Amino acid sequence: KETKAMQILMDSSGLTVHEIAPDGDCLFNAVAHQLRRFDLTETASSLRAKAVENMLANEEQYIFFLEEVEGDPEKFKHYCESMRSSSIWGGEVELRALAKALDAQILVYAVGLP
């Protein structure tokens, strides 16, 4: 049902759905896939690193949006290092940091959201 609804949304927007493996790197692989349209060669690992570098350089913009770090700078640094070195799923905070690092607008299409 969600797949069909997503297909309808994409069709109405003139876009195409591309399957991305649902692993911990899926957010970064999806962005890398789209960057290839502009002849930019990035990997999930390189994009993950860019997002983390932006988060660390702009801690005050992100620290209070990560519930698990509870506003604690040491927990934030640990979170960022874990994000950099493993396949932890990225979320809205990482996507925002990546968009800023790339100086790009990243649009997210989802069923049931405005």
Q: Does residue 114 sit within a domain? A: no
Look at residue 114 in the predicted model and tell me its pLDDT.
65
Q: What is the mean pLDDT of residues 47-67?
A: 97
Q: 74 lies in which domain range? A: 2-102
Q: Does residue 111 sit within a domain? A: no
Residues 44 and 25: their CA atoms lie apart, in Å, by 6
pLDDT-derived band at 112, boundaries 50, 70, 90:
confident
Q: Does residue 112 sit within a domain? A: no
Q: Does residue 107 sit within a domain? A: no
Read off the tokens for 111: 């069923």
Q: Does residue 15 sit within a domain? A: yes
More confident residue, 54 or 12: 54
The enclosing domain of 15 has a CATH number of 3.90.70.80
Residues 50 and 48: their CA atoms lie apart, in Å, by 5
* 9 close to 111: Cβ distance less than 8 angstroms: yes
Model confidence over 63-76: pLDDT tens digits?
999 999 999 999 99
Q: Does residue 108 sit within a domain? A: no
Q: Which pTM was predicted?
A: 0.89
Q: Does residue 109 sit within a domain? A: no
Could you please report the per-residue DSSP string of 8-63?
HHHHHHT--------STTHHHHHHHHHHGGGT----HHHHHHHHHHHHHHTHHHHG
Q: Does residue 10 sit within a domain? A: yes
Count of structural domains, the chain: 1
Q: What is the mean pLDDT of residues 94-98?
A: 98
